[in-house]
Amino acid sequence: MITEPFGYHAPKSLSEAVRLVAQFGADGKVLAGGHSLIPLMKLRLASPKHLVDIGGISDLSYIREDGDEIQIGATTTHFRIESSDLLKTKCPLLPETAGEIGDAQVRNKGTMGGSLAHSDPAGDWPAAILALDAEIQAVSARGERWIPAREFFVDLLATALKGDEILTAIRLPALPSRAGDAYLKLHHPASGFAVVGAAARLVLGENGSIERAALGITGIGPKAYRAAAVESALAGKSPTTKRLEEASAHAADGVDANSDLYASAEYRSHLARVYTRRAIEKALERAQERTDGR
């Protein structure tokens, strides 16, 4: 299908983009990689009168290390994250997650900021961003603010971004010592999106027990979430097989699981438990390897 007619604007600076977004209000939409917005416009599920294309603002695309933190610009593509040597060393969960998104074409055009702003319930980034306790920067004519990932995903396709705000950056802690990460995903056979995706970060104590566990889960409910009950069942405990199994059983606690032709709510909840256990096991194995210097 063909979109409704729209005006196209390509600002060269963030301040110009912010001004255009404020000017168009509800009639405008930010365009990044276009890999979620353009399909919606073709289906006429979205019909903005103006698109503000932020793809030409060069200082929104970067990956930087700043002390123990990593900062990523909003228009950084999935592929650039997947192939970043810095991230492979400092925050390997990000390249691992990026490599699970769509196909090469999607990864070459789609952006981390666009994916987070879109907040697809089966998108991959929200799980990783939650597990890493990231913060998301929003800029408008009123100034800038940093939103914790836990407060960012509000509901189905809804985030804490206000209508006049542009998502400009994501910042997150690098992988600490004695820690391991993992992202495991069951791909939908038709769309490739996550039927379930589980992102885990485990930090071990000096005695090998789990000092801290963080779990972000996508694909199950209307929005990605932190599996708090799993995390508290693991914190301070030694990582026995039985304990990992018992903790993972809480992966879908309190979540109103989606149901569709491919997966019933019951099956999705089961998948959440299985993929959570596998992600924790993988993160643990990696944390132990790093701790042992293997």
Q: Taking the CB of residue 157, how many other CB atoms lie within 10 A of it?
A: 16
Closer by beta carbon to ligand FAD, 37 or else 200: 37
Cα distance between residue 198 and residue 150, in whole Å: 15
Q: Is 17 in the site for ligand FAD (CB under 6 A)?
A: no
Cα distance between residue 132 and residue 200, in whole Å: 8
Instruction: List, in sequence order, every residue forming a beta bridge with 184; answer none if it has no partner.
Output: 198
Q: Is 34 in the site for ligand FAD (CB under 6 A)?
A: yes
Cα distance between residue 62 and residue 72, in whole Å: 6
Closer by beta carbon to ligand FAD, 82 or else 211: 82
Long-range CB contacts (< 8 A, 24+ apart) of 38-44?
A: 38/3, 41/3, 41/4, 41/6, 42/1, 42/2, 42/3, 43/1, 44/1, 44/3, 44/4
Closer by beta carbon to ligand FAD, 173 or else 192: 192
Among residues 18, 37, 217, 247, the one that binds ligand FAD under rule CB under 6 A = 37
The number of C-alpha atoms within 13 Å of 202 and in the hemisphere containing its C-beta is 34
Q: From the CB of 152, what's the least distance to ligand FAD, in Å?
A: 12
Among residues 167, 184, 202, 213, the one that binds ligand FAD under rule CB under 6 A = 167
Among residues 20, 24, 35, 91, the one that binds ligand FAD under rule CB under 6 A = 35
* 171 to 37, 80, 96, 134, 137: CA distances (angstroms): 24, 16, 17, 6, 8
Among residues 18, 33, 153, 215, the one that binds ligand FAD under rule CB under 6 A = 33
Q: From the CB of 36, what's the least distance to ligand FAD, in Å?
A: 4
Among residues 70, 82, 90, 113, the one that binds ligand FAD under rule CB under 6 A = 113
Q: Is 99 in the site for ligand FAD (CB under 6 A)?
A: no
CB contact at 8 A, 72 and 81: yes
Q: Is 251 in the site for ligand FAD (CB under 6 A)?
A: no
Binding site for ligand FAD (CB under 6 A): 29-37, 39, 54, 74, 101-102, 106, 110-111, 113-115, 117-118, 120, 123-125, 161, 166-167, 192-193
